[in-house]
Amino acid sequence: MILQIEFSLPEFNRGYHIITSLVEKRIGKLPEKGIFHLFIKHSSAGLTINENADPSVRKDFESVLNSLVPENQSFYTHTSEGSDDMPSHIKATLCGSSLSIPITNHRLNLGIWQGIYLCEFRHYGGSRNLVATIFGDG
4-43, pLDDT tens digit by residue?
999 999 999 999 999 999 999 999 999 999 999 999 999 9
Summarised one tens digit per residue, pLDDT across range 94-138 is 999 999 999 999 999 999 999 999 999 999 999 999 999 999 986
Among residues 108, 127, 123, 136, the alpha carbon closest in space to that of 1 is found at 136
Q: In what order do the strands lie in the sheet with 114-124?
A: 13-18, 114-124, 45-51
Q: If we measure between CA atoms, which residue out of 28, 22, 37 comes closest to residue 106?
A: 28
Domain containing residue 44: CATH number: 2.60.120.460
Q: What residue numbers bound the domain in which 23 lies?
A: 2-71+79-137
Q: Count the neighbouring beta carbons within 10 Å of the beta carbon of residue 93.
A: 12
Quote the number of domains for the chain: 1
Predicted TM-score (pTM) of this structure = 0.96
